[in-house]
Amino acid sequence: SWTANQDKILALHYLNDGGVNLLDPVFRKEVHARKARFLTGYKGKIYYFCSVCSKKLFEEHPEKYIKIK
């Protein structure tokens, strides 16, 4: 089922600059923000992925793939 968190992720996605190329945090491949089919939110930030496999790996262990500030 669709959640309020998914609504927030989707809203933030559409606010992102459509011309931006971002880096998939798992496979380190460039992903075009507007064309990305796989995305998820974590700690208030949206992460874009090149594949469903990459997204699932990230969701299982997000801290492994992001730099902690």
Q: Which residues of 20-47 are buried (b: 16+ CB within 10 A; e: fewer)?
A: eebebbbeeeebebeebebbbeeeeebb
For residues 33 and 22, the answer to whether their CB atoms sit within 8 Å is: yes
Tell me which DSSP letter residue 39 carries.
E
Q: What is the pLDDT of residues 22-47, one digit of tens each?
A: 889 999 999 887 788 898 888 888 88
Whether the pLDDT of residue 69 is over 90: the answer is no
CA 34, chain centre distance (Å):
12
